[in-house]
Amino acid sequence: MTLNINPDTVRHLADLARTFHAQEAVTIPEDMQQPSGDWGNQLLAAHAGDPTLDEFRAVLTDLEPDQLAELVALFRIGREDYAPGEWHVAVQRAGVETPRPLDDYLIGHPLLAEYLESGLEAVADLEAE
């Protein structure tokens, strides 16, 4: 199995997410399933023009659809929604079942950086076998 997305790109996105979430003004509610459902839009609207968020979005824009699906699969494997051995299923479902806009979906997770890095590590271990 070979990744279509460059691991360095994944690490860069993780670094950008970590930088974005570390900002003092970024607050993400504990209950992201609240009835209003617009917390993500409010959060991102408050950070319009943020250079870190802009760069995060630009990197995603430069990725091909198969790379985006792999990125989401890495995120979900890192979050333990899927086991590393379910890579192909995770990628397939990511291409179909991912909320849009993708950049908002991903950056809205405060542990995005950790999930991406964990997913990347899990898949690297799988490739090494």
pLDDT in tens, 5-34: 999 999 999 999 999 988 765 555 555 454
Q: Name 60's Cβ contacts closer than 8 Å, sequence gap at least 6.
A: 13, 68, 71, 102, 103, 106
Kind and range of the H or E run holding 125? helix 112-128
Name the token pair of 71.
């990125």
pLDDT at 35: 44
pLDDT at 99: 83
Give the model confidence (pLDDT) of 24-62 as tens digits: 655 555 554 544 455 455 555 555 678 999 999 999 999
Give the model confidence (pLDDT) of 63-93 as tens digits: 999 999 999 999 999 999 999 999 999 999 9
- Residue 101, preceding bond cis, omega within 30 degrees? yes
